[in-house]
């Protein structure tokens, strides 16, 4: 059963809104505090370095997606780079899982901010319940189709980018537009590890590559949409980071790391600012989840059609995309219930950076001449990702070795599963071809 992709159903504006919609969600509302905990008072610089690393990564996606626009962008890149096998399928599944992990991060952030006015703790059972409720609501919106999602994404992108920018300007104005890091030395190890979370805050641009089959003039607009969405988010992230740093001392940012923006709004803007920031967080996370679910469900559908992953209807009727929507939201809901924000974000880092390195390596090895990519930029992207992943792993082994173990086992399991599945599928395909050939004779 094939998924229907409506050509020219997503405009350049809609694609930029989708990219920023996924990025400006948990990326700024939850990860600002996580980054500050690792980088110390220098945390705004983490967003600058994260943006630079993201720019190197984006180069590969822009080159590939402009040359070969596809609804399964990441899967298409991996298949062209590694052929139809376990490496390509495993890497594509890692990307899909990293996107689902991001959905659970966004949903959990929604719940964390929603309980702030009621002074409930972060470990309250209400937080995961609200996260699951949001995921179910987003599923219902997504089944309504591209046009509803596209319009919703554009409206919400304008609201939240404008609202967050106003928050940042107002907080900086209240603090006298002053920000000076209070640390005498830059914590090199912690700062480098914090860049991993900053990269995670930017990774939403990859959702644009999965909409190439539906984007207007994709050969030109995929690259434009990626660049514009990264630039918009970079400005917003820096504005907010400096605003939070000017409003709160570092120790208070770390204590309130899961809801740092709401905590920073109160001393700068009073109780009205506190409640408005919470409302803005709810809008931003809800709209970010809409854009993310929309994109990952299409990627899973493409992986199924490319026969990279197995598919079971489980008795469900309707098109394939509706089935993958169900798989997406159920998995995201389970993650939101089982893990806290810090561990969800850490899982996302491991899954995404491993997949990202695979893509750069595959394109460098086989495709750089075909698409006219500069080998030096591809190698720089691999080196930067590898360095940040290595340092992040060392830091997490010291602070939370369990999540490193979970991520390592999960990533290994993905590749082992894909190798077994594809070997079995290939054997069955060859058997069917043999049966047909015998019948023809």
Assigned superfamily of 12-309+319-432: Amino acid/polyamine transporter I (1.20.1740.10)
**How is the chain split into domains, by residue range?**
12-309+319-432
> Which segment, 96-105, 260-269, 304-313, is predicted with the most confidence on average?
96-105
- The neighbour count for residue 274, using CB atoms within 10 Å, is 20
Quick one: pLDDT at residue 148?
54
User: Can you tell me the distance from the alpha carbon of 388 to that of 394, in angstroms, rounded to the nearest whole number?
Assistant: 10
Average pLDDT over residues 378-386: 97
> What percent of the chain has pLDDT above 90?
25
144: pLDDT confidence band, cut at 50, 70 and 90? low
Residue-wise pLDDT tens digits, 195-238: 999 999 898 788 787 666 677 787 788 888 899 999 988 988 88
User: Can you tell me the distance from the alpha carbon of 298 to that of 432, in angstroms, rounded to the nearest whole number?
Assistant: 28
Residue-wise pLDDT tens digits, 283-292: 888 877 876 7
- The neighbour count for residue 178, using CB atoms within 10 Å, is 9
Quick one: pLDDT at residue 321?
59
HSE of 22 in the Cβ direction (CA atoms, 13 Å)?
32
Taking a C-beta distance cutoff of 8 angstroms, is the pair 387, 107 a contact? no
Question: Model's pTM, two decimal places?
Answer: 0.84
Overall size of the chain counted in residues: 441
Quick one: pLDDT at residue 312?
60
User: Can you tell me the distance from the alpha carbon of 254 to that of 399, in angstroms, rounded to the nearest whole number?
Assistant: 15
User: Is a pLDDT exceeding 90 seen at residue 317?
Assistant: no
Taking a C-beta distance cutoff of 8 angstroms, is the pair 300, 327 a contact? yes
């Amino acid at each position: 059963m094939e998924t229907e992709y409506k050509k020219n159903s997503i405009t350049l504006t809609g694609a930029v809104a989708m990219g920023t919609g996924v990025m400006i969600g948990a990326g700024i509302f939850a990860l600002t505090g996580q980054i500050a905990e690792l980088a110390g008072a220098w945390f705004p610089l983490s967003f600058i370095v994260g943006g630079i690393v993201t720019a190197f990564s984006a180069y590969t996606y822009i080159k590939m997606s402009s040359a070969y626009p596809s609804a399964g962008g990441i899967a298409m890149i991996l298949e062209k780079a590694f052929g139809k096998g376990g490496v390509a399928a495993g890497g594509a599944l890692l990307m899909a899982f990293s996107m689902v992990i991001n959905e659970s991060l966004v949903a959990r952030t929604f719940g964390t901010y929603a309980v702030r006015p009621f002074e409930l703790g972060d470990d309250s059972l209400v937080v995961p319940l609200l996260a699951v409720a949001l995921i179910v609501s987003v599923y219902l919106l997504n089944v309504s189709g591209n046009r509803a999602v596209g319009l919703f994404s554009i409206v919400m992108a304008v609201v939240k980018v404008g609202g967050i920018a106003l928050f940042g300007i107002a907080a900086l104005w209240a603090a006298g537009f002053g920000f000076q890091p209070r640390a005498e030395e830059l914590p090199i190890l912690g700062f480098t590890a914090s860049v991993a979370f900053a990269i995670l805050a930017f990774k939403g641009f990859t959702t644009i590559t999965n909409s190439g089959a539906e984007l207007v003039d994709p050969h030109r607009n995929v690259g434009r949409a990626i660049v514009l969405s990264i630039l918009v988010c970079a400005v917003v992230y820096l504005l907010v980071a400096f605003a939070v740093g000017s409003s709160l001392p570092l120790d208070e940012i770390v204590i309130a790391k899961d809801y740092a923006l709401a905590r920073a709004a109160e001393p700068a803007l009073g109780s009205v600012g506190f409640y408005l920031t919470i409302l803005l967080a709810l809008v931003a996370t809800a709209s970010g989840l809409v854009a993310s679910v929309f994109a990952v469900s299409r990627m899973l559908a493409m992986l199924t059609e490319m026969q990279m992953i197995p598919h079971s209807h489980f008795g469900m009727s309707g098109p394939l995309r509706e089935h993958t929507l169900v798989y997406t939201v159920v998995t995201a809901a389970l993650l939101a219930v089982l893990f806290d924000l810090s561990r969800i974000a850490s899982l996302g880092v491991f899954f995404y950076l491993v997949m990202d390195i695979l893509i750069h390596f595959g394109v460098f090895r086989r495709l750089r001449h075909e698409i006219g990519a500069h080998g030096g930029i591809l190698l720089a992207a691999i080196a930067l990702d590898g360095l940040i992943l290595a340092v992040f792993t060392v830091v997490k082994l010291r602070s939370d070795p369990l999540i490193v173990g979970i991520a390592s086992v999960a990533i290994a399991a993905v590749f082992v599963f894909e190798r077994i599945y594809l070997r079995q599928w290939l054997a069955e395909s060859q058997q069917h071809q043999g049966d047909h050939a015998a019948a023809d004779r």
